[in-house]
Structure 1
Amino acid sequence: MRFYISAILFSAAVARAADDATPTTHAPACTATSSTGSGAFFDLRPDMAVHPDKGKSHRTGVAKDYHSKGYDYGKNFTLNICGSVVDPVSDVVGLDKDVWANVSAYYMSHGNIYSIGSQSMDLHSRGRKLVLQYTGGSPCGSKSSKSSRATGHSHAHDGAGSAPTPRLHKVEPLVKPLVKPLVKDDDKTAVRRKSTTISFLCDQNPGSAQASVSFVGTDPDECAYFFEARSVHACAHAEPHKPGSVGPGSVFGIIFLIAVLVYALGGVFYNRTDMFVILCSSCTRCLPGRRGYSQLDSGASARNRNSEAENRLIDQLDEEWDD
């Protein structure tokens, strides 16, 4: 009985250890687990464009930046997914030189480069939406220019039934100022910077080997930019098994093996007394001393029987002589 209790406690300990063996580490960069609790896993690392090394094959297969047309916005965009742009940029408006290499999305206007977000691999699952956000781009400009931009972006009509005037992008400076204003982000009046939000959609077309990015729009201040990306890697799938962890199948196998061992060994120990007696009896029968005592006993019985026969014969002879 004690063995069964110990075996049950041991099984529980092993099962708990197997559960603890699965690491609760954070998801790898550019991956996300569904926030709905379904366990769906998303991995956009194959969509990240990386400059191929010379003489080596490219792991992701994407070696060029993604491009998206602004159409009525008047500007085209260059961006990457979860990484900085492959083709390096320089002289980015409003950014120090040491952060130019982190630019993940930008557009050009009159020869100037405007960043709309720096590198981030922090992919998020918000319900059914898969979202990636870049922040820390070029300054958005003062809020006082909202009304002037709104007036310039309004749709004018020449007359009844006439087509609206296309929305025009605000006029960027032809040349950058020679001296940058001494304004820091941690000042009382923080600098508002451009940002980018990319929403990913599952592309069910198996022939789409590379993601496609489309420009959706921007806010009235032209400070936040929104894109939509379609990719086969944005489709939910099961999370791969992590090296060094114990999966559900392994946990079940361990518990099953322990149950078999408990059943087998428990039966052996439960009947250990009977088996011990049987084994001892079998062994003692094979001992030479046992056979010797048996032979002595049989010899003594034979001699006793012979003495009795002789006595009866003598008595019979004595009776005959008397007659």
Structure 2
Amino acid sequence: MRLLYHSLAIYLSLTSQAEAASGKKESKEVEHKPCTITSPSSGAFFDLTSLQLPNPKDSKAKHPREHSWNATGHDLGYNFTINVCGPVIEPIEDVVGVDKALWRNVSAYYKQDGKIYSLGQQNSNLTMRGRKLVLNYTDGSPCDPAGSKRAHSVQDLMARDLNDNDMEKRKVKGDDDDEDEDDKKSSKKKPSSTERRKSVIISMLCDKDPLAPQLALSFVGTHDECSYFFEGRSNAACATANTSSGGSLNPGGVFGVIVIIAILVYLVGGCVYNRAVLHQRGWQQVPNYNLWASIFGFFRDIFIILTSSCARFLPSRRGYSRVNGGIGGLGSRRGRGDSDAENRLIDELNEEWED
């Protein structure tokens, strides 16, 4: 018995480890699938692939969409063009501050004074901020440091501090030191390689209204015209069942499982009731046996009728066939002679039996 218990324990431990490993593989596959994510806190699954607009040239739809998603900039004086988890489908050129090889990967942009400014490159990795589903685009066009009053004030203060420091150092040091200070000052004025670039943050919210559009994209605000915030409402942003992994079931599979369980409960429960309470045996234990037998008999009769009607169209059999003669024919005479011989034989057997 101890050997049996040890073997069962080892078997259960191995199966649990296998299930854990398979669960880890499935979670990794879900994380790596583009434009999908599973919430680490609630386990809810989100899939935004239906909001990704493909290129009309590559689309298999009968009437593909020819424009990306749009959002109104309101007081900014320009509007935005955005695609979800993919580059915009409009052909764009001469993007400010972006290499030509990266123009086709721009996922959000706006036009101002005839120039195109990128808000970020393509990104298919979704992020969960608590319960919020977030999509982020980065590495857009360079930010304008003089885009706000705050930037101007900061630059003025920095310039004043530099001038004051230079004057004090020049009073203390000689002419030779002035050249070194000029070199340092010029080096500070050189643009740094880590310049800020425009970016986008889109907060996706669930909208279960059946009459709502596929995606309602709204502009929320911006900081120094460098970081832009949007809000997107769509039915695709609602939590759904994960149908990408093999272990999960879609709604049709769940319905099928429920139907199978209901049938098993009906059969097993009915058989137990008929056997234990009604004391039925044999086929009578099946619940509603007479009903199912009549239905089976009905389909059996239909099958016989169909097969018999179809048999008329089959070719007739070849070979000997019995011919029934008329009243005065040979067949009638043979039949009458056979009956007379049988009667005589019966009479003889009766007489012998009586003797």
Q: What TM-score range do you get, normalising by the shorter chain?
A: 0.5 to 0.7
Q: Identity over aligned residues, as a percent?
A: 43
1:29-44 → structure 2 map (5 Å cutoff): 29-35=34-40, 37-44=41-48
Structure 1 length normalisation: TM-score? 0.58
Provide the C-alpha distance between the structure 2 equivalents of 1:79 and 1:55, rounded to a whole number of angstroms.
18
| Counterpart residue identity of residue 195, structure 2 | V
State the Cα distance separating 1:241 from its structure 2 match. 5.2
Match among 133, 145, 148 for residue 146 of structure 1: 148
Structure with the higher helix share, 1 or 2: 2
Provide the C-alpha distance between the structure 1 equivalents of 2:244 and 2:53, rounded to a whole number of angstroms.
25
| Counterpart residue identity of residue 77, structure 2 | G
| Counterpart residue identity of residue 31, structure 1 | T
Paired position in structure 2 for 1:15: 16
Contact 2:56–2:89 (CA under 8 A) maintained in structure 1 = no
* 3-state SS in 1 of match to 2:120: coil
Structure 1 position 213 matched with structure 2 position 214: no
Instruction: Give the alignment's Cα RMSD to 1 decimal.
Output: 2.8
Structure 1 position 200 matched with structure 2 position 204: yes
| Counterpart residue identity of residue 95, structure 1 | V
1:1-323 → structure 2 map (5 Å cutoff): 1=1, 2-22=3-23, 23=25, 24-26=27-29, 27=31, 28-35=33-40, 37-53=41-57, 56-57=60-61, 64-143=67-146, 146-147=148-149, 188-208=192-212, 210-219=214-223, 221-240=224-243, 242-243=245-246
- Alignment length (residue pairs): 208
Contact 1:62–1:210 (CA under 8 A) maintained in structure 2 = no
Q: Could you list the per-position Cα deviations for residues 154-213 of structure 1 after superposition, in whole angstroms to 9, with x for gaps in the alignment?
A: xxxxxxxxxxxxxxxxxxxxxxxxxxxxxxxxx745221111111111112123351111
Provide the C-alpha distance between the structure 1 equivalents of 2:141 and 2:53, rounded to a whole number of angstroms.
22
Contact 2:73–2:219 (CA under 8 A) maintained in structure 1 = yes
Contact 1:21–1:246 (CA under 8 A) maintained in structure 2 = no
Q: Are the structure 2 counterparts of residues 58 and 121 from structure 1 closer, same or farther at C-alpha, using a change threshold of 3 Å?
A: farther
* 3-state SS in 1 of match to 2:98: coil
Q: Could you list the per-position Cα deviations for residues 88-130 of structure 1 after superposition, in whole angstroms to 9, with x for gaps in the alignment?
A: 2111111110010111111111211111111111211111211
**Alignment gaps of 5+ in structure 2:** 154-190, 250-355
* 3-state SS in 1 of match to 2:93: coil
Contact 1:39–1:238 (CA under 8 A) maintained in structure 2 = no
Q: Are the structure 2 counterparts of residues 85 and 8 from structure 1 closer, same or farther at C-alpha, using a change threshold of 3 Å?
A: same
Provide the C-alpha distance between the structure 1 equivalents of 2:118 and 2:227, rounded to a whole number of angstroms.
11
State the Cα distance separating 1:25 from its structure 2 match. 1.3
Q: Are the structure 2 counterparts of residues 86 and 237 from structure 1 closer, same or farther at C-alpha, using a change threshold of 3 Å?
A: same
| Counterpart residue identity of residue 15, structure 1 | S
| Counterpart residue identity of residue 113, structure 1 | I
Provide the C-alpha distance between the structure 2 equivalents of 1:70 and 1:246, rounded to a whole number of angstroms.
42
- Structure with the greater relative contact order (CA < 8 A, sep ≥ 6): 1 or 2? 1
State the Cα distance separating 1:15 from its structure 2 match. 3.0
**Alignment gaps of 5+ in structure 1:** 152-186, 248-323
